[in-house]
Structures are given as structure tokens and as C-alpha cells.
Amino acid sequence: MEVSKPHAILLSSPGMGHLIPMLELGKRLVTLHSFEVTIFVVSSGTSPAESQTIQSSMSPKLCQVIELPPVDISSLVESKAKVVANLTVMMREIKPALRSAISTLKVPPTALIVDLFGTEALVIAHEFKIPKYVFIPTHAWFIAFSIYVPILDKVVKGEYVDQKEDFVIPGCRPARPEDVVEPMLDRTNQQYYEYLRMCKEFTMGDGILLNTWEELESSTLAALRDDKLFGDINRPPIYPVGPILRPNGSAGSRSHELFDWLDRQPSESVVYVSFGSGGTLSNEQMTELAWGLELSQRRFIWAVRQSTVRTGDGSFFITGKGGDDLSSNLPEGFLIRTQGLGVVVRDWAPQVDILSHPSVGGFLSHCGWNSALESVTNGVPMIAWPLYAEQRLNAALLTEELGVAVRSKILPSKGIVGREEINMTVRRIMADEEGHGIRARVKELKHKAEEALSEGGSSYHSLSQFTQNILMSMQKSPSP
Ligand code: UDP
């Protein structure tokens, strides 16, 4: 019987950190495996960067992208609910719209892939009788930790952060209490219960795709597949298919001024500073960071988003709503004194293009996993400045396991990192002997990442296996 072209449905939750890898995964399925792909994007409704990213990523238009308008969830979340609760409730409420949108598609779907916040939509795959997968746009240690959380939930008494001992995850690096993911910080908050549910649902699909690669996390991936270690937890096949990132040169509109300036700087001399799409700093921390950069006398590009300057409240959904007067939130005279030494970029920076520029030699990052991978794949060492979500876990992985980052003594999410320490940390990565070692290590990983993605490489192979499984399921139950 003739089997038609596979048609994968991808579902992305709001947030650039989820949207970008989902768009790129879709493109890879089209270009490497001749899939037809429809991507449903649940929009945050507040970020102009989202639609710009969809536009620039889909030129040429390889996938059909359909935006599902945000739903009003105000009556469904507790007043003190945080980001994860907002995201998961929004993804739950979007299900009817998603179901009816899928049923109107001209080409019937053959597989559903949801991101980590979309696991409740897996039931829709049952209704359409198609296989279902979860794409976790982060690393293997995160998934090992997360699927173990329901066990921790039973045995740990009191708050996780108050525990004296590290959390032992079978066969994997233990996690420190201070590094647990954001929803685990308060076990009474709605977002903890939502996260606990997600942790159980991650394993309910026909497979888990991860934005990592075999060689980067070989021992964690081996542990995850070992029945002796994780036998009590249901685990579908795991496909490490990363790094899945936007290609360099695709960050959208480029400011000629910024890149002309970068072109004039010496090789690997510039530190890029950014806290991702949602990271915010208090005004006090902004001041210390500005002084720290100035004291270091290293060249820098600082992506200061206006909301960061204005609100400092850690909100994920607020973007670009601040005022215009940047200088009022920076130390007096900072912009004048650092003229020539550094560039302050407002709002959205063309990050992948900055990190791939040969003049950039360090990245002070909030450690969002996309940012971390963009740094690694461009051979740029990092200063880890984790703020929220799973960023503290990422920072521990990057510094202690992979050896591609340094971090401050005090966790930035716990207190103010002073100007002297920032100055010293920047020097550690940009000038000291320690920095040379880290730079060599990150360049090694950059090559390993390229190998993993190339034909015959581990991630290429893993994505091929994944697509083969979808083709096989189509042969078993061909569409009418
Ligand atoms: N990004 C960008 N310009 C910015 C801020 C972020 O291009 O000014 C991109 C960045 O390159 C990355 C994504 O947005 O691909 C952010 O994802 P990440 O996982 O690093 O962090 P999140 O924003 O989800 O916390």
C-alpha cells in the first residue's frame, strides 16, 4: 500500500526559548527528512520578537506556522501563581482550539510533537490515532532530574531548598538543593503541582526528543536508558537530536552600526551580556553590573531590555514596555565613560549573529539552554548568571560537568553580585590562564556538536531513527 508523506504537527508554548527550537526542529524535519510540518504556536500576545522570529525563521517558508491566540486564564490561576502555572494552564485551555485547528487541516496529521509545557495535549494524538512525542528543548540531566521528581516528592519532607544533602539521581550528577528548578522553590505554589504533573507526563509519549547530543552527556543518557537505574519509571525511547538552534546569520534585522563596531574590535576581545528573553535584574544589580563591566576595562555588548531596566520583577511576559531613558537606570556617566569600550543594545539583540562574530570572546549569560548552546556552538566561554526556570541546573552543568563556564561565588538569584566580583569574573574568562583552558574546552565541544549534526553523526542518526519510527507507524495504520 502506498504511504503518503508524513505530516508532523508541532505545538510550541509561549516564550522564545520554546518557540525557536520548535521552529528549527520543524525545519529540520522538512529539509532532512522530507516531512510536511505544521507548527502551532501559542502566542504570549505580548512579545513582538515572537512574530519577527517566526517571520525570519520561515523565510523561505518551509513549514506552515499557525498562531493560536492566547486564552484568558485570569480566573484559572491563583493570584500568586508564577510563570510555570501560567504557561501550563494556558496550554491546557488551548486544547479545544488546537483540536479543531488540527481537524481542519487539509493533510491529515501523522505525528504530534509537543514541547515540555504541552504534555496535556498528548491526548489529542489518541483522538487522531497518531504517535505522540515530547520535545524537551533542554538537556538530558534536566529530564533525568525531572522524571525523578515524583519520587523526591514522596520522600523529601519540607522545602527542597532547605535540605542539607544533595538530591541523588540514579547514575547522574546529583543536584544541589539551591539549584533546583524554579517550580520546586515553593511546594505550596500552584506551579509546583503543575510541574509535578508535567514530570509524570514527560514519559507518557512514544518518545522524548532532547536538545542535546550523545557525546555531550553520554553518561547521563546511558543512565537514563539503564533499567537497573531507572527501571521503576516508565521511559519511552530517548532521542538526543541537538544542538537544534537557529543558524548563524538568521537573527533577523542587523544593526550595521553594531556589526561595524564589532568588525573593528580585536579577535575574541568582546564580552556579550544578555539575560535572554525574560531575565530581569534589580536596579541595584544593574548598577553593580555596569560598574563591574567598567572596572574590568574589557570591551562589551550589553543587551539591556527596557523592561529589565524598568520593572526588575522577573516577569516573563512583559517585554519592551519600559521607558526610553536608559541612562537613568545606569550609574551616572556610564554611557559616556564607556563610549568606544562598549555598546548597549536596547531590547532584542541579534544574539546568534553576535555570538558567531570572531570579536566576541565571552558571554555573561542567564544560562537559558538555547543561549548556552549558542555559546558552545560558537566556541564562546561563559560566565554563568542563572536567574530562574531551570537555569541554576544549567549553570551547574556548564561549570562543573562540561567545564565551559565560570560562575560567581554568590548565586545571582540569591543576592547581589558586587562590582569587584563581576570585574574579577570577567577577567577570569577573558584574560586569566583559567580562561584559556575553558576556551580550549568549549572549542572542542563546538567541533563535537558539528560532528553530531553531520551526516552519520549521533544526532543525525537519532533524528533519522525517530522519523523512521513515524514512517513505520504510518505503514501500520495508513490514513484513509
Ligand atoms: N535572544 C535573542 N536576542 C535577545 C534575547 C534572546 O536573539 O536579545 C534569543 C537567544 O538567542 C535564544 C533565545 O532568544 O535563542 C532565548 O532562549 P534561552 O533558552 O536562552 O532563554 P529564555 O529566553 O528562554 O530564558
Average pLDDT estimate for 281-302: 95
DSSP 132: E
Query: What does DSSP say about strands 208-210 and 132-136: parallel, antiparallel, or unpaired?
Result: parallel
What is the pLDDT at residue 253? 61
Inform me whether the pLDDT recorded for 156 exceeds 70. Answer: yes
Considering only CA atoms, which of 390, 376, 399 is closest in space to residue 448? 376
Q: Using most ligand atoms within 8 A of CB, pick from 13, 16, 367 the residue to mutate for ligand 1.
A: 16
Which position among 7, 18, 139, 357 bears the catalytic label?
Answer: 18
Which architecture, in CATH terms, is 7-246+452-476? 3-Layer(aba) Sandwich (3.40)
Which position among 7, 33, 72, 115 bears the catalytic label?
Answer: 115
Grid coordinates representing 406 are 565560570
User: 331-354 burial, b if ≥16 CB within 10 A, otherwise e?
Assistant: beebeeebeeebbbbeebbbbbbb
Decide whether any atom of ligand 1 lies within 6 Å of the 182 Cβ.
no
What is the pLDDT at residue 82? 81
Q: For the structural domain made of 256-449, what CATH number should be given?
A: 3.40.50.2000
Decide whether any atom of ligand 1 lies within 6 Å of the 306 Cβ.
no
Domain edges within the chain:
7-246+452-476, 256-449
DSSP 254: -
Q: What does residue 47 show for φ and ψ, rounded to 5 degrees?
A: -110, 110
Kind and range of the H or E element at 146? Answer: helix 140-155
Q: What is the DSSP string of 331-360?
A: -TTHHHHTBTTEEEEES---HHHHHTSTTE
**Do 7-246+452-476 and 256-449 share a fold?**
yes
Q: How confident is the model at residue 80 (pLDDT cuts 50, 70, 90)?
A: confident
Contact 12, 25 (CB under 8 A): no
18 part of the active site:
yes
Q: How confident is the model at residue 252 (pLDDT cuts 50, 70, 90)?
A: low
Contact 77, 85 (CB under 8 A): yes
The proportion of the chain whose per-residue pLDDT surpasses 90, expressed as a percent, equals: 77
pLDDT digits (tens, 9 = 90+) for 342-385: 999 987 899 999 999 999 999 999 999 999 999 999 999 999 99
pLDDT digits (tens, 9 = 90+) for 119-141: 999 999 999 999 999 999 999 99
Inform me whether the pLDDT recorded for 439 exceeds 50. Answer: yes
**Distance separating the N- and C-terminal Cα atoms of the chain:** 11
C-alpha of residue 332 to centroid of ligand 1, in Å: 29
Residue 272 CB contacts under 8 Å (≥ 6 apart), including other chains: 300, 301, 303, 351, 354, 355, 360, 362, 363, 364, 380
What is the pLDDT at residue 317? 35
Inform me whether the pLDDT recorded for 256 exceeds 60. Answer: yes
Q: Indicate if the alpha-carbon torsion angle 295, 296, 297, 301 is positive or negative.
A: negative
How far apart (Å, rounded) are the C-alpha atoms in residues 426 and 432?
Answer: 9
DSSP three-state, residue 14: coil
Decide whether any atom of ligand 1 lies within 6 Å of the 57 Cβ.
no
C-alpha of residue 276 to centroid of ligand 1, in Å: 4
Inform me whether the pLDDT recorded for 306 exceeds 70. Answer: no
C-alpha of residue 363 to centroid of ligand 1, in Å: 13
What is the pLDDT at residue 290? 96
What is the pLDDT at residue 324? 52
Q: Using most ligand atoms within 8 A of CB, pick from 181, 212, 351 the residue to mutate for ligand 1.
A: 351
Q: How confident is the model at residue 320 (pLDDT cuts 50, 70, 90)?
A: very low
The lowest-confidence range among 209-218, 439-448, 468-477 is: 468-477
- Which atom of ligand 1 sits closest to the CA of residue 352? 11
The lowest-confidence range among 45-59, 313-327, 331-345 is: 313-327
C-alpha of residue 368 to centroid of ligand 1, in Å: 7
Inform me whether the pLDDT recorded for 26 exceeds 90. Answer: yes
Inform me whether the pLDDT recorded for 311 exceeds 60. Answer: no
Grid coordinates representing 116 are 515540555
How far apart (Å, rounded) are the C-alpha atoms in residues 34 and 55?
Answer: 21
Per the DSSP assignment, residues forming a β-bridge with 136 are 210
What is the pLDDT at residue 319? 33
